[in-house]
Amino acid sequence: MSKMNNVSKSKLHGLWALTNRELKKWYKTPVVFILTLLQPIIWLGLLGNALNLGSLVGSSSLTIPPQVITELQLTPAQITVLQGFFSNIGDTIMQGTFGTTSYISFMAVGMIAFTALFTTMFSGMSVVWDRRLGFLNKALSTPVSRAVIILSKVLSATLRSIFQASIILIIAVPLGFQFGAAFTAVNILGVFAFLFLICMGLSSLFIAINIRSTRIETPMAVMNLLNLPLTFASSAFFPIEQMPGWLQAVATINPLSYTMNGMRQLLINSSIDYSQLALQYAYVGLFALVLTTVGIVLSWRFLNK
């Protein structure tokens, strides 16, 4: 009855079908789709503008007081030079701290990584739903490979993150995002590469955490515990160098920091330090490799009970 010649024997068969299943749930449900787009807009619009550190230290707040001019008997020429110096102080501080004069540009890149974190967390939780609703068992009774079941989750989260990152970038431009001097269109591919690696790693991590849970409450608690430290102990909102020592220690090993710093080099910095960039790719790449391997090995074990 079952004719084997109608059947694909590739190890990866079903990968796209399962990935597409996850993606369809997202793009075919308008509410979910719009909400995932709205979230970064709100974050960027609200936080990016509310925390506008640029205007805090910007030129408008720094003028030479009249007493100083009379006291030092400054000539108009000297005043212009000094005024010029003062109005550049803000930009100099911003450039030195954030690598760009525009805080919203700095934060937009943080938002991209942050969105990747959230998307992968939810994809990790969807394993629990699949188990709950019996889909996992059903898939396990078919010839589809166990690794493919896991990889499809990883892949769908990655694709979603890349799409959302592009949206964030597009939205950020009218909100004041400034590309750095070193930016070329090719750098976008470099950003996607960073996102691909970090999403592979993170989503494998979250799937491995959730693979044994049969109830949704456990992963929710774990995710809540992890998400704020991962976000704030990173360079999402603030450069690591300005953090207290203990936080710096956490942030320096946080792969999200490497991802964001790397993406900032590609997008907003005035020049690219290629040895740093190589290090950032290597770190995030290693993170992805190790966690994807661990995730798949663990999942394999638990799916083959």
Partner 1 sequence: MSNNAIEAEALTKVFNGSLVAVDHIDFSVRNGEIFGFLGPNGAGKTTTINMLITVLKPTEGKASILGYDIAKQNTQVRYSIGVVPQEYTADEDLTGYENILLCADLYGIQREVSKKRASELLELVELTAFKDKKVQTYSGGMRRRLELACGLINRPKVLFLDEPTLGLDVQTRAATWNYIKMLKKEFGMTLFMTTHYLEEADALCDRIAIIDHGKIIVVGSPTELKDSLGGDIITVAIKEDVDITELVERINHVKEVKKENGSYRIKSENGEITAPLIIESLRKEGHVVTRLSLTKPTLNEVYLQYTGKSMRDAEESGDSLYAKRMIMARRRH
> Would you say 138 or 170 has its CB closer to partner 1?
138
> Would you say 14 or 285 has its CB closer to partner 1?
14
> Would you say 156 or 234 has its CB closer to partner 1?
156
The distance of closest approach from Cβ of residue 195 to partner 1 in the complex, given in angstroms and rounded to an integer, is 25
> Would you say 69 or 136 has its CB closer to partner 1?
136
The kind and range of the H/E element at 244 are: none
The distance of closest approach from Cβ of residue 7 to partner 1 in the complex, given in angstroms and rounded to an integer, is 5
CB distance 235 to 98 below 8 Å = no
- Of 286, 302, 27, 296, whose CA–CA distance to 151 is shortest? 296
Instruction: Please measure the distance between the N-terminal and C-terminal CA atoms of the chain and give it in whole angstroms.
Output: 30
Half-sphere exposure of 242 (CA within 13 A, CB side): 11
The distance of closest approach from Cβ of residue 152 to partner 1 in the complex, given in angstroms and rounded to an integer, is 11
> Would you say 16 or 85 has its CB closer to partner 1?
16
Which residue is listed with tokens 């084997």?
4
- Of 120, 145, 89, 182, whose CA–CA distance to 304 is shortest? 145
The distance of closest approach from Cβ of residue 157 to partner 1 in the complex, given in angstroms and rounded to an integer, is 17
By the 10 Å C-beta count (0-12 exposed, 13-18 middle, 19+ buried), 224 is classed as exposed
- For the record, the structure tokens of 13 come out as 């068969």
The distance of closest approach from Cβ of residue 281 to partner 1 in the complex, given in angstroms and rounded to an integer, is 34
The distance of closest approach from Cβ of residue 9 to partner 1 in the complex, given in angstroms and rounded to an integer, is 7
Which residue ranges make up the site for partner 1 (CB under 8 A)?
Answer: 1-2, 4, 6-10, 13-14, 16-18, 21, 24-25, 28-29, 132-135, 137-144, 214-215, 304-305
> Would you say 17 or 72 has its CB closer to partner 1?
17
Specify the long-range contacts of residues 220-229, CB closer than 8 Å, at least 24 apart: 220/125, 223/121, 223/124, 223/125, 226/121, 227/117, 227/118, 227/121
